[in-house]
Amino acid sequence: MTNADLRSRFADVFMPNYGVPPVALVRGEGARVWDADGTEYLDLIGGIAVSSLGHGHPVLAAAVAEQAARLAHTSNLFVNEPSVRLAERLVALAGGDARVFLANSGTEANEAALKIAIKYGKANGRPYVVATENGFHGRTLGALSLTGKRSIRDPFGPFALDVRFVPYGDADALRAAVTDQCAAVFLEPTQGEAGVVPPPAGYFTAAREICDATGALLVADEIQSAIGRTGAWFAWQHENTRPDVLTLAKGLGGGLPVGACLAFGAHATTFAKGDHGSTFGGNPVAAAAALAVLDTIERDGLLAHAAAVGDTLAAGIAAVDHPLLAGVRGRGLWRALVLTGPAAPAVEAAARDAGFLVNAVQADAVRLAPPLILTDAQARSFTAALPAVLDAAQKAS
């Protein structure tokens, strides 16, 4: 079994929506992975911000194995204890006064949030929602209707929902768009798929004030940014501005599929019996994995670790003087190399050749979302190699 074998078989049997990935990964250990040809890489993608504890973490592996051996599935017709503990834990981490809906993915968590917004809007004469240009909330049709990336949205429109888009980070534009007819505002604390683009300081607080003044719900899409990615459990905690609805996924399960939608205060009981559901949501194995992730982050101090190693990573990138590199942005272990031109695919390929997995998320931006266990030395190994990576990319592009 080689990379070439697996890539060829992949191309033969899968729909072409992903293209054919460049390598086939077969195993991992910590922040390192190996492909089918035996080549080792430092994983600076983390399964797109999913692999919080890296690969093969013994606590996660034990939790999954133990729960799978005991009870792997119950459906939502019966209570299972891991899902209850996970919901209790998430409510506590978010500050209390909330209820939880467990799903399988980020887009499903956002579907739940959208249905809460729609039901709230119908009950209060609020027919539209507001989202941001270049925002990403998922690829199911409801979540896609909120997604402001025209390249992936337009081929599947028109959509049934009245969604009005505003420039991200522009509080005045948001204020003008949100009236007492608006049901909800969907925001990412930092836009991930747009290239890890943070808003100006105070933007989320301004959004909270605008929603409070008009009665619109504030929905924080923390699919990428939560569970320690920015050095806090949730990115909204950096501004201490809690939303009305919060969505989570990616890093929560550490590699197991689990998403969550939390609604606070009076909005916690918007859904009545029968309003929403998920066959696999609340799966005990996924819930056990998520509890193992949360326990390990807390026990090993990974919030502070992510902040500190993220600063090392950012400082090392900022110190590189290269004509292809414009700078670095982001927070914690969620960063982007900002390029001076559309060379991100070439940088991704050159980094891979040098033993680093990174993500060309935009033409001029390369996303870094490594496991939260990335060491300081591993971060420095990347920044030390970066000038040569950029040289190689420059020659290739």
Q: Binding residue per annotation — 330? A: no
Q: Binding residue per annotation — 234? A: no
First to last CA, the chain: 31
**Cα distance between residue 98 and residue 95, in whole Å:** 8
136, 165, 204, 264: the catalytic one is: 136
Q: Binding residue per annotation — 224? A: yes
The residues, ordered by sequence, that sit 6+ positions from 29 with a Cβ below 8 Å of its Cβ are: 54, 55, 56
Structure-token pair, residue 165: 């888009």
Q: Binding residue per annotation — 19? A: no
Burial of 344: CB neighbours in 10 Å, binned 0-12, 13-18, 19+: buried
35, 43, 221, 244: the catalytic one is: 221
Q: Binding residue per annotation — 139? A: yes
Q: Binding residue per annotation — 255? A: no
**Cβ distance 221 to 188 under 8 Å?**
yes
165, 204, 234, 250: the catalytic one is: 250
122 is catalytic: no
Q: Binding residue per annotation — 242? A: no
149 is catalytic: no
275 is catalytic: no
Q: Binding residue per annotation — 223? A: yes
> Which residues contribute to the annotated binding site?
106-107, 136, 139, 221-224, 278-279
> Which residues contribute to the annotated binding site for N(2)-acetyl-L-ornithine?
139, 278
Catalytic residue positions, numbered: 136, 221, 250
> Which residues contribute to the annotated binding site for pyridoxal 5'-phosphate?
106-107, 136, 221-224, 279
